[in-house]
Structure 1
Amino acid sequence: MLVRIVKLGFEDQHIKTFLENFETNKKAIRNFEGCEFLELYRDKNNINIFFTYSYWKTESDLENYRHSDLFKEIWSVTKPLFNMKPEAWSVDKLESLE
């Protein structure tokens, strides 16, 4: 399983637009083939910083999403809202404790 963590920073005036876009598209992302989990987080100390956290069955599933029309539509709305360059990490989940 591949875990994808993405850090996103937005100008104050664009946060509402980002959250509305996420709300509109979150089910489509979660239901995209290969996506097994999706969450959105907000930094406790800087309310302009958000993180998406998703699980993908394989790296190719993530790449299929990143090259999909869905991603292109979401990204076309999101990209102009940034106040910093987004950062992304793809990591392997080694262990999980309940």
Structure 2
Amino acid sequence: MFIRIVKMEFKTHKVQQFLDNFETVKEKIRTFPGCLHLELYRDKQHQHIFFTYSKWKEESDLENYRNSALFKDVWSETKPMFSNKAAAWSVDVLHQLDETMF
């Protein structure tokens, strides 16, 4: 399992359009084969900056998603709304502490 974090900065007037579109596609992304978890975060100080946090079984699952018609549709809708180029990181979990552990 690994984590994918994507930072996206939107044109201010496109934020609601992005949120509306995310609402439409979030379940499709989350149920894509190999996707275990999906979250959307919003920066507290910069309301036009968002992050997706997703967990994937294998890197090949993420690659399959990135090569899918679903991704192409989502990305073609989302990318024109950006104010800056998106940044993405694939990371491995080294330690995880949950509130249930304390």
The TM-score by the shorter chain falls in which range? Answer: over 0.9
Deviations for 1:31-62, whole angstroms, at most 9, x for unmatched residues?
A: 00000000000001100100000000000000
2: distance between equivalents of 1:95 and 1:32? 26
Stretches (4+) displaced over 2 A: none
2:71 aligns to what?
Answer: 71
* Partner Cα separation in structure 2 for residue 57 and residue 31 of structure 1: 12
Counterpart-to-counterpart distance in 2, 1:33 and 1:39: 16
Q: What's the offset of the Cα at 1:93?
A: 1.0
Aligned length: 98
Distance 1:71 1:2 in 2: 19
Paired amino acid for 1:86 = A
- Which of the pair has more CA radius of gyration? 2
- TM-score, normalised with respect to structure 2: 0.94
Report the RMSD for the aligned CA atoms in angstroms: 0.5
Q: After TM superposition, give the deviation of residue 2 of structure 1 in Å.
A: 1.1
State the shift of 1:78 in Å: 0.3
Tell me by how many angstroms 1:75 deviates. Answer: 0.5
Q: Which runs of 5+ in 1 are unaligned?
A: none
Q: TM-score when scaled to structure 1?
A: 0.98
Structure 2: any 5+ residue segments left out of the alignment? none
